Structure 1
Amino acid sequence: MTIYADSFFLDSDLTDTLQNRIKRQVVEGILSGRFLPGERMPSSRALARHLGVSRITVSFAYNDLVADDYLVAQGRSGYFVSLSAPSGIQFEPPGDPVENTMDWSRLLAHRNGATSRIDRPVDWRAYPYPFVYGQTDPKLFDHQNWRLCALQALGRKEFDSLTSDHYERDDPKLVEYVLRHILSRRGISARPEHVLVTLGAQNALWTSAQLLLTQRRAAAVENPCYPGLREILQQTRCRTHVVEVDDHGLPPDAIPEDTDVLFTTASHQCPTNVTMPIWRRHQLLRRAAELGIVIVEDDYEFELSFRRSPSPSLKSLDDMGRVIYIGSFSKSLFPGLRLGYIVAPSAFIQEARALRTAVLRHPPGLIQRTAAYFLSLGHYDAQINRMRKTYQRRRQVMEQAFSDHGLTPVGEEDHGGSSFWMMAPEHVDTERLASRLQLRGVVIEPGRSFFDPKSAPKHFYRLAYSSIPSARIARGVELISEEIGTYGSAIDA
């Protein structure tokens, strides 16, 4: 029996290739039982004509399916569904779900409660003015070389690094690059036993909190701060002290004396972008020594300091081994990579490695090796240089737009990064403002989630320029200014 070409259609997934979309149609037809073993496929010419694609595209798809034993080629007769093709598991449709009779509010040992995530629409890329933080601009990412590095990592000589369970070990090529090229730029001297690869900075923060904090210990955090950190600390059930930041970052004298662990973003305070000056970093280390505090330094975005050289990390100034350093490639490569690292004394790394092994063994070998090639072959530095130049141009456009439309960032904004921390008039609720702006195609990030929930102001917000082209910035800022200007009357109406 022949399968007719009109049984196929191209789905709307424009992010995938035509070849893969055709292959997906065939595979789904075989696994669902619509296409049976031995049935003849439409000719490549007929299917190409029906789908409106080139014949070579269909031929390549068919050849890939032959390699995977979904199809077989029979000389001049064409392609047929393989007699040994994989088949979907047949099962009876399940009945109605069992009614929940368990009291989960009593059975759950831990309840994380309400989260304070940064609210943004899922389809934010579809908005013309996305001032969204921490996302990748496809035009700045080096797709071609990343793909080549992934292919190299998939090569036969890399079979062991790709397929083996390495238990607690990390990719030595990646660790070597971090040691020789990343940490050296931050003034940090370390050996392989001082480094642990993590699934991004979030995983590194969680690991550090799990090892350092208990119900009987206290953590100090900046206010405002990264919302995900606050959720991590809630899971440890530790006591949390909130320290208000000023124009120089976290003031050491404000750290409570019963603090055990301090979390800080000294290079680019999250979310205000304040860079802690060197003199205060020394003060902070002296205060930590007085109180016996461990410092967890989240050194994000240090690469994007394009107006002056990056300040030395706290870790590089630490002569007592009390600073745990966290880095990540999420902002500089892409957030979906989920790859970061912890640098700390070997005694801490040993325990962190054991904890990671119990939870997830290690980050995927393919991801680690691909990143190692991308970094070591110079593509990473080229991308950082490209991002730095582009972000600097966008920042200048944004500063001019602020001047033209009467918006003023909070504090002194001259250190780089990829966003501005903004303050609207006190009567403006930026969560309601964000909802109104979305109707006009503008996405901003309300600031309430960054603050301690007990006293969170409503009139702060963040504007990032990592995901919006320069040509759209001025109009987007103009729309924000218009909405703020009419906020009171619009809400009353």
Structure 2
Amino acid sequence: MDIRPESLIFDQDGEGTRQHRIKRQVIDGILSGRFKPGDKMPSSRGLARQLGVSRITVTIAYTDLVADDYLVARGRSGYFVSDSAPSAPSLVQACQNGESIVDWTRLMSHREPPPEEIARPFDWHSFPYPFIYGQTDPQLFDHRNWRLCALEALGLREFESLTADHYERDDPKLVEYIQRNILPRRGIAARPNQILITMGAQNALWLCAQLLLTQRRKAVLENPGYPSLRQILGATRCHTQSVDVDADGLAPETLPDALDVLFTTVSHQCPTNATMPLARRKALLSLAAERGFVVVEDEYEFELAFGRTATPSLKSFDTHGTVIYVGSFSKSLFPGLRLGFMVAPHPFIAEARRLRGTVLRHPPGLIQRTTANFLSRGHFDAQINRMRKAYEVRRRAMETAIAETGLQVASQPANGGSSLWMRAPDGVDTDLLARRLRSKGVVIEPGAAFFDPTRPQRNFYRLAYSSIEVARIPQGIRLIAAALADLD
């Protein structure tokens, strides 16, 4: 039976190349059973005319389908649906979805009510003034070299690193680069068996919480602090206590007498961006050694320091092995990468590796090797340098516009970063402010989610400059100031 050209619909606005969209139409027709084995495909000329594309586009699509055994070419007769083409499995009886008779609330272990989340629209990139945190600016990312590094990782020479089940092992090339290049910049010396690759910083924090905390142990976290950490700690049912930070971050003397694990963001406190002074870092380490608690140092943004030399990490002063260091590539490369690392004494890393292995074995080999290639060829350092320069210009534009409009910076970051922590007048709910600003094309991040829910504060918000063009910053700040004036 001949398949008529009208049977294939071409979406001019669809995703992927034209060849890909043509292939998708043919594959869908075969898998759905509309196109049967032996059916003759439209001629390349006829289908090209019907779809409004070039004949070579159709020919390339047909050739790819032949390679995948969806079609077969028969001399001058044309292309036909292959007798051995893949087919979708047929179900004897369709599953009827109905109300579940299972009492899921009884079967599932108790969970605390979900905390307040940071309000971010999924289509933030379509807003003209996106003061959104942690996203990648496509103008700053090195697309070309990342693509080349990925293609190299997909090549035959690196086939094993891509496809093999490495069980609990990490990519040695990536571990070596982190050991020899990333860690020394933070003053850290570590052996390979003291490094674990993670699926980002959040995964590392989860591993730490699972291994170090129980219902009988106590964790201390910063207030305000990283919202997802509260969710991670809540799952362990451990005792938690929030400790307020000041202009210099966490003050060691404010810690409770009894604690087991402290989670802290020393270099860029989340979300205030405060940098803990050297004296406090040493005092904190002395206290940890004296009282016997573990410090988990989350250094999520250390590469983005500018203005002055970055202070060495807390881990670099750790002579008693009390610090677990957590790093991430989310801010320096892109958040969708979901790749980070953890540095700690070997006994802990060995146990964390076993726990990780029960959940995901290891991060995908392709991601690890592509990142290793990108780092080792110098592209990473070039990108960081480009980002620092751009962020410094944007930061100056932010500070100028804020000074002109009279907005209040709650905590002035001393050492780079990609955001500012802001304070609205007392009585202003920044959730309401954020909703009003969206109608004007402005996206901000309300700050309530960062605070201890038992001591809520609703008049703070975060403004990031990692994803907004510098030319748009002044007008965006003016719109925020105008909206605040209406609410005040």
Q: Where does residue 132 of structure 2 map in the other structure?
A: 132
Comparing 433-442 and 340-349, the one that deviates more: 433-442
Query: After superposition, where does 1:296-311 map in structure 2 within 5 Å?
Result: 296-311=296-311
> What is the CA–CA distance in structure 2 between the aligned matches of 1:240 and 1:231, rounded to whole Å?
11
Query: After superposition, where does 1:308-347 map in structure 2 within 5 Å?
Result: 308-347=308-347
- Tell me the percent identity: 64
Q: Where does residue 447 of structure 1 map in the other structure?
A: 447
* Secondary structure, aligned partner of 2:297: strand
Q: CA deviation at 1:345?
A: 0.4
Q: Normalized against structure 2, the TM-score is what?
A: 0.96
Q: Where does residue 59 of structure 1 map in the other structure?
A: 59
Q: CA deviation at 1:408?
A: 2.5
The reply on whether 1:183 has 2:183 as its aligned counterpart is: yes
* Secondary structure, aligned partner of 2:421: strand
Q: Where does residue 414 of structure 1 map in the other structure?
A: 414
Q: CA deviation at 1:49?
A: 3.4
Deviations 1:93-124 (A, max 9, x none): 63542432222222112424313321111111
* Secondary structure, aligned partner of 1:486: helix
> What is the CA–CA distance in structure 2 between the aligned matches of 1:255 and 1:12, rounded to whole Å?
61
> What is the CA–CA distance in structure 1 between the aligned matches of 2:13 and 2:292, rounded to whole Å?
55
Q: CA deviation at 1:240?
A: 0.7
**Would the aligned equivalents of 2:14 and 2:21 in 1 still touch at CA under 8 Å?**
no
Q: CA deviation at 1:262?
A: 0.5
Q: CA deviation at 1:222?
A: 0.6
* Secondary structure, aligned partner of 2:454: helix
Comparing 466-475 and 266-275, the one that deviates more: 466-475
Shift in alpha-carbon separation, 1:425–1:92, aligned structure 2, 3 A? farther
Q: Which runs of 5+ in 1 are unaligned?
A: 489-493
> What is the CA–CA distance in structure 1 between the aligned matches of 2:95 and 2:373, rounded to whole Å?
50
Deviations 1:364-386 (A, max 9, x none): 11111111111111111111111
Q: Where does residue 100 of structure 1 map in the other structure?
A: 100
Deviations 1:289-329 (A, max 9, x none): 22211100001110000111211000001111110000011
> What is the CA–CA distance in structure 1 between the aligned matches of 2:474 and 2:332, rounded to whole Å?
25
The reply on whether 1:380 has 2:370 as its aligned counterpart is: no
Q: Where does residue 79 of structure 2 map in the other structure?
A: 79
Q: Where does residue 260 of structure 2 map in the other structure?
A: 260
Query: After superposition, where does 1:420-431 map in structure 2 within 5 Å?
Result: 420-431=420-431
Shift in alpha-carbon separation, 1:44–1:394, aligned structure 2, 3 A? farther
Q: CA deviation at 1:333?
A: 0.8
> What is the CA–CA distance in structure 1 between the aligned matches of 2:165 and 2:344, rounded to whole Å?
24
> What is the CA–CA distance in structure 1 between the aligned matches of 2:117 and 2:67, rounded to whole Å?
45
Shift in alpha-carbon separation, 1:3–1:121, aligned structure 2, 3 A? same
| Equivalent AA in structure 2 for residue 30 of structure 1 | I
> What is the CA–CA distance in structure 1 between the aligned matches of 2:398 and 2:449, rounded to whole Å?
24
Shift in alpha-carbon separation, 1:55–1:419, aligned structure 2, 3 A? farther
Q: Where does residue 458 of structure 2 map in the other structure?
A: 458
> What is the CA–CA distance in structure 1 between the aligned matches of 2:368 and 2:451, rounded to whole Å?
34
Q: Which runs of 5+ in 2 are unaligned?
A: none
> What is the CA–CA distance in structure 1 between the aligned matches of 2:10 and 2:278, rounded to whole Å?
58
**Would the aligned equivalents of 2:412 and 2:420 in 1 still touch at CA under 8 Å?**
no
> What is the CA–CA distance in structure 1 between the aligned matches of 2:308 and 2:48, rounded to whole Å?
56
**Would the aligned equivalents of 2:15 and 2:21 in 1 still touch at CA under 8 Å?**
no
> What is the CA–CA distance in structure 2 between the aligned matches of 1:359 and 1:75, rounded to whole Å?
51
Deviations 1:159-207 (A, max 9, x none): 2211211111101001001101100111100011000111110100000
> What is the CA–CA distance in structure 2 between the aligned matches of 1:11 and 1:92, rounded to whole Å?
33
Shift in alpha-carbon separation, 1:467–1:12, aligned structure 2, 3 A? farther
How many pairs align?
488
Q: Where does residue 474 of structure 1 map in the other structure?
A: 474
Comparing 216-225 and 1-10, the one that deviates more: 1-10
Q: Where does residue 491 of structure 1 map in the other structure?
A: none
Q: CA deviation at 1:12?
A: 6.8
Shift in alpha-carbon separation, 1:174–1:78, aligned structure 2, 3 A? same
Deviations 1:76-95 (A, max 9, x none): 33322222111112225635
**Would the aligned equivalents of 2:114 and 2:231 in 1 still touch at CA under 8 Å?**
no
Q: Where does residue 404 of structure 1 map in the other structure?
A: 404
Runs of 4+ in 1 over 6 A off after TM superposition: none
Shift in alpha-carbon separation, 1:112–1:33, aligned structure 2, 3 A? farther
> What is the CA–CA distance in structure 2 between the aligned matches of 1:125 and 1:109, rounded to whole Å?
38
Shift in alpha-carbon separation, 1:277–1:55, aligned structure 2, 3 A? farther
Q: CA deviation at 1:280?
A: 1.4
Comparing 236-245 and 110-119, the one that deviates more: 110-119
RMSD: 1.6
> What is the CA–CA distance in structure 2 between the aligned matches of 1:333 and 1:162, rounded to whole Å?
20
Q: Where does residue 20 of structure 2 map in the other structure?
A: 20
> What is the CA–CA distance in structure 2 between the aligned matches of 1:210 and 1:403, rounded to whole Å?
45
Comparing 238-247 and 157-166, the one that deviates more: 157-166
Shift in alpha-carbon separation, 1:55–1:278, aligned structure 2, 3 A? farther
Shift in alpha-carbon separation, 1:281–1:152, aligned structure 2, 3 A? same
**Would the aligned equivalents of 2:73 and 2:79 in 1 still touch at CA under 8 Å?**
yes
Deviations 1:423-451 (A, max 9, x none): 11112100111111111111111000000
* Secondary structure, aligned partner of 2:462: strand
